[in-house]
Structure 1
Amino acid sequence: MIIVMAGGRSTRMGREKPVLKVGGKPMLLRVYGEAEKVGEAFVALSKNTPKTRELCLTEGIPFVETPGMGYVEDVGWLLQEFGPFVSISADLPFVKASDIGSIAKAFDGETSLTGILPLGRVPRDLKPVVYRNYAVVGLNTVGAGEEKFFELSNPLLALNVNTPEDLKLANEIARLVGR
């Protein structure tokens, strides 16, 4: 099962990120479209994302409403309600089905895998979250067991759209790569 996480408050952006357009298409539709190529997928939203709910209803995308108390709490709630799953942030506009498929294939249903990129693969204009010389990306698996890193290869996974500047950069990249 693949869950697109789209229920955050978007405080750094100042507006709901999943409905913002990259390359002329809402980020949620970009991410969900890739996820459903891999397997059963739905969107996790919350009271914080009414426009995202509206988009899901309009597009016929299945969704569930989480308590909306925070990312960690919502992930825990989803694990309890649905069991182990692949988690993708709705603000990863350049995630590909192959990225999702690779982490899903490695998932044993127990071990949580945190998607990472070696810093050498990260384009220099991006400012990812860094941990132990790796960029941590918003593509993971969630299980009840131990946590491990899972190395991905798509350098554009390092672009997590959190700020207006990130959105501008994502649109520039989309124009350049034709996505």
Structure 2
Amino acid sequence: MGEKPLVEVGGEPMVDRVLAAISPVADTVHATPSPHTPETRAHLEGRVPIVETPGEGYVSDLSVALSRVERPVLTVTADLPLVRAADVRAALEGDENGSLTVCVPVDRKRELGLSVGTRFEHDGRQVAPTGLNVVGDGPDSVRVLDRIGLAVNVNTYEDLEVASSVISERF
């Protein structure tokens, strides 16, 4: 399959789709490719500033990256190929420099035939983190948005099939 960020959905690498969605919303965009993804690094070099990480796993690498940029920081994983600028704006609406975990209802992911990994209960319903977050210095909050662009997080071949199917239906 190759490096995950470079997997194509609708003929375009997932990481490019994510960059296109966040660039109109964010003042500065940095990429944090792992040392284990040299092709992704080469693909992004010269397009966005690269933040070096040790490649010790998502949480560890994220901690390193966060220590090198000013907060608040919008973090978005490269495996959200259907995310749109409007989804990002909706997630950030009313943000007050605190930390924010953006989630989608688990029922929506199941309805779409998507895998459901991490989940927790929020306001009486099961929700799943989307991979879009804000890390700030203020209080933590959760925002639940029922948007397909946030629900489709590609973690399995089945998720990739759903993403490809949605892209072909939309465009």
TM range (shorter): 0.7 to 0.9
The offset of 1:145, in angstroms, is 4.3
Match of 1:151 in 2: 144
Is 1:97 matched with 2:85?
A: yes
Amino acid at match of 2:113: D
For the residue of structure 1 that corresponds to 2:19, the secondary structure is helix
The offset of 1:120, in angstroms, is 4.4
Match of 1:22 in 2: 9
Aligned mates of 2:94, 2:55 — CA distance in 1: 29
Give me the identity figure in percent. Answer: 36
Normalised TM-score (structure 2): 0.85
Equivalent pair of 1:114/1:141 in contact (CA under 8 Å): yes
Normalised TM-score (structure 1): 0.81
Match of 1:172 in 2: 165
Q: Counting strand residues as a fraction of each chain, which structure ranks higher?
A: 1
Match of 1:108 in 2: 96
Aligned mates of 1:15, 1:147 — CA distance in 2: 35
The offset of 1:135, in angstroms, is 2.3
Structure 1 stretches lacking a partner, 5+ long: 1-13
1:1-179 aligned within 5 A: 15-39=2-26, 40-57=28-45, 60-84=47-71, 85-109=73-97, 111-122=98-109, 123-129=111-117, 130-132=119-121, 133-178=126-171
Q: CA RMSD in A?
A: 1.9
For the residue of structure 2 that corresponds to 1:64, the secondary structure is coil
Structure 2 stretches lacking a partner, 5+ long: none
